Structure 1
Amino acid sequence: MAERPGAPPGERLRDRLAAAGYTAGWAWLSRLPDALVARAFDAGADLAVRRDGAGVRRLRANLARLRPDVPPAELDDLVRRGMRSYARYWREAFTLPALDPAAVHAAMAPHVHGIEESLASVQAGRGVLYALPHAGNWDVAGVYLVRELARRGLDPAMTTVVQRLRPESLFRRFAAYRRTLGFEIVPADDARAAHRALTARLRSGGVVCLVADRDLSGTGPEVEFLGGPARLPSGPVRLAALTGAALHPVCPFFTGDAWGVEVAPEIAVGTEPSRAGVAEAVQELADAFGVLLARRPQDWHMLQPIGGTR
């Protein structure tokens, strides 16, 4: 198992334990009864809420900003459901490899809304960039998208950027798994390679998916997001402008035992937007995220500061 050269012994041990935990999860959870695994993950989520750690407190603050109208008791319940939704995401990360992609597509199809405009762009040879928040299960949404593209006789692949996990062996396993689903995976720490892969995919009329509700670089424009200031990444807007791709905000969500996704109308970007034009388009993206997330707030898995705010 690869370790990071020069990492303190404590960090190396945590890396090894994390990798061992993920390996055990992939090996065993899909073999256990679904109801048992779901109850176990729900219990873990409820325990986390009772302990009220930093992540839960941040989720509470973010949900209060998303839904400022709810009284404290309703906010408590929303936080509990939000943590259970987050636990479901991780539970499905372990069990999705054992699921039949055709069955996933069939279960999700009735709950996909607004996608026809974007698929018409792909059909016409134009690239499409889907920008999404940390919500629902984007891996499942990707499985649906890849199979739907293939069903329509289109290139059944999409490109996305992912943060590199530690240890390296764990990242390689995640990346390999997602590649089997039809995803082209580009590590975020190689900015030049990521830019080349994303622009190539979009210019060829393909599909790119990017998570865009948190600006890790700190260089995005400041916009109003959920009633307060935040920085959101400008990358999706700039890529759409550079390649002529259609930019669509999307939001995956859970529904019962199945999944869904809502695709919002295209955000007009233009081919050479000014700095103010980029900021305006990012503001439109923030507004769209606010509308989409407010419909199913419990599925927003944001346990970090919103958009770079503290």
Structure 2
Amino acid sequence: MWKYILFLIAIHTVGRLPLGVGYAAAEVVGRLAYRLSPGSRRNVINNLRHVMGKDAPDKKVRAAAYMIFINIAKYYVDLVRMPRMDLDDFFRRRLRYFGLDEYLLPAVAAGKGVIVLSVHLGNPELAVQGMLLKDVKVFALTEPLQPPRLHRLVDSLRSSKGHTFAPVGFAGVKRAIQTLREGGVIALMGDRDIEGPKASLPFFGEETMMPTGPIEMALRTGATVIPSFCLRTKQGGIDAYLEEPLELERTGDMERDARTNAQRFLALIERRLRQHPDQWVVLESIWDGVPVQPEPPPVAVGEEV
């Protein structure tokens, strides 16, 4: 219940602040969260050790982890501000698309259904909002939150501009498949094992459980898969990259094809994460087992990283 109440307070306080003020507050909150969340900090550093390599300097890993906590705080500022966000102004001043006209819009026009497959990089929920101004309406599946009342509130914020966000589950997946069969667009995440079909796949050189559900959905419906990656800019903007459709191998063996094509998507993820590890906003440990290297000491609030 306290999380729900906290969100309500944030909507009516932080949600009314100018963006610059909200992001300044996020800097403070992110610094504190890094310092006061040893479990999450350990998970993030373990993830970064895989992405950046076991020989990456501690200072560099620590700096990336530090920024991840700040970027997560900025995500929540974006979320609570979304109902009051001027979409036209956001599209004109803060959002840049790369590959929208070349890849996404032609795939939508083909009418076979489109899966925009993204990762927790930058803020993909914010990046998708601008698609409404290109007459592209998206149905997105989200990770269930507890209690359900909180999830309904969060998804209402995400859906406030006209897209539809709903929790992963039987009803949500059924609607996603129906949307694809009607030639619509759905948005899914492909970098965390949450619910649904999955397989143990190599990721940054080590096996871990990764979702295959988005690929299976594409194979069963004939939908086009558009890999998508989002990055924050130093000026407070969002750069959204929509890449050429993922070429899906189809042998007739669903399990094999799902694994093969999911691995192709993971290869794209690896390239992007190596370039921008400090924007991978995941607090959960992606790889089980012992961390590849002990956690470096935490950064004191205000310390240079």
Fold shared, TM-score > 0.5 on shorter chain: yes
Match of 1:50 in 2: 35
Task: Tell me which amino acid in the other structure corresponds to 1:119.
Answer: L
Q: CA separation in 1, counterparts of 2:103 and 2:3? A: 41
1:219 shift after superposition: 4.8
Do 2:230 and 2:240's aligned partners in 1 also have CA atoms closer than 8 Å?
A: yes
- SS of equivalent residue, structure 1 residue 250: strand
Residue matched to 1:205: 183
Under a length normalisation based on structure 1, what TM-score does the superposition of the two structures give? 0.85
Q: Deviations over 1:63-108 (max 9, x none)?
A: 1211115311111111111211111111111122221011122234
Give the Cα separation in 1 of the matches to 2:158 and 2:73: 20
2:102 corresponds to 1:124 = no
Q: Output one character per residue of 1:20-54: Cα deviation in whole Å (capped at 9) or x when no partner.
A: 11001001113334433322221121122233511
- 2:92 aligns with 106
Structure 1 residue identity aligned to 2:230: P
User: Does 1:283 pair with 2:263?
Assistant: yes
CA–CA separation in structure 1 for the residues paired with 2:31 and 2:157: 29
Name which of 226, 232, 245 aligns with 1:248: 226
Alpha-carbon displacement from aligned partner over 1:184-209 (angstroms, at most 9, x marks no partner):
23322x32x22321111112221110
1:153-192 aligned within 5 A: 156-188=136-168, 190-191=169-170
Structure 1 residue 174, shift from structure 2 partner? 2.3
1:263-307 deviation line (CA, Å, top 9, x unaligned): 23222225664122221101001111111222221111111121x
Indicate how the Cα distance of structure 1 residues 186 and 96 shifts in structure 2: closer, same or farther if over 3 A, else same.
closer
1:295 aligns with 275
The answer to whether the 8 Å contact 1:60/1:75 transfers is yes
Gapped regions of structure 2 (runs ≥ 5): 290-305
Encode CA deviations 1:221-265: one digit per residue, 9 max, x unaligned.
Answer: 211112211121111111111111111221111112111112232
**Aligned CA distance change for structure 1 residues 272 and 206 (closer, same or farther; 3 Å):** farther
Shift in CA distance, 33/118, structure 1 to aligned 2, threshold 3 Å: closer
Instruction: Say if 1:170 and 1:130 are closer, same or farther in 2 by CA, change over 3 A.
Output: same
Does the 8 A contact of 2:196 with 2:213 survive in 1? no
CA-CA distance at 1:218 after TM superposition: 7.7
* CA pair 31-218 structure 1, distance change in 2 beyond 3 A: closer
Instruction: Tell me if the contact between 1:241 and 1:272 (Cα under 8 Å) persists in the aligned partners.
Output: no
- Quote the residue 2:244 is aligned against: 265
Counterpart of 1:158 in structure 2: which amino acid?
V
CA distance in 2, matches of 1:282, 1:266: 13
Instruction: State the Cα distance separating 1:158 from its structure 2 match.
Output: 1.1
| TM-score, scaled to structure 2 | 0.86
Distance in 2 of aligned mates of 1:77 and 1:273 = 46
8 A contact 2:27–2:70 mirrored in 1: yes
Greater share of residues in helix: 1
Separation in structure 2 between the aligned mates of residue 175 and residue 272 of structure 1, nearest angstrom: 37
Q: Which amino acid aligns with 2:274?
A: A
Amino-acid identity (%) = 22
Contact map agreement 2:31 2:70 (CA 8 A) in 1: yes
Q: Is the CA contact 1:104–1:143 (under 8 Å) kept in the aligned structure 2?
A: no
* 1:173 shift after superposition: 2.2
**Which structure 1 residue ranges, 5 or more long, are not aligned?**
1-14, 151-155
Counterpart amino acid of 1:287? A
Q: 1:216 aligns with which of 175, 194, 202?
A: 194
1:273–1:113 distance in 2 versus 1, CA, 3 Å: farther
1:3 is matched with none
Give the Cα separation in 2 of the matches to 1:50 and 1:216: 27
Alpha-carbon separation, structure 1, partners of 2:21 and 2:159: 29
| In structure 1, distance between residues paired with 2:268 and 2:132 | 24
| TM superposition shift of 1:138 | 2.0
1:273, 1:291 → 2: CA distance?
29
**Preserved CA contact (<8 Å) 1:264 1:288:** no
Q: Which SS does the other structure have where 2:13 is aligned? A: helix
Higher relative CO (Cα under 8 Å, sequence separation at least 6) belongs to 2
Q: 1:251, 1:84 → 2: CA distance? A: 19
RMSD: 2.0
CA distance in 2, matches of 1:272, 1:104: 43
Partner of 1:143: 129
Question: For the Cα contact (< 8 Å) 2:229–2:241, is it kept in 1?
Answer: yes
Preserved contact between residue 249 and residue 260 of structure 2 (Cα < 8 Å):
no
Aligned equivalents of 1:237 and 1:181: distance in 2? Answer: 28
Of stretches 165-174 and 282-291 in structure 1, the one that deviates more from structure 2 is 165-174
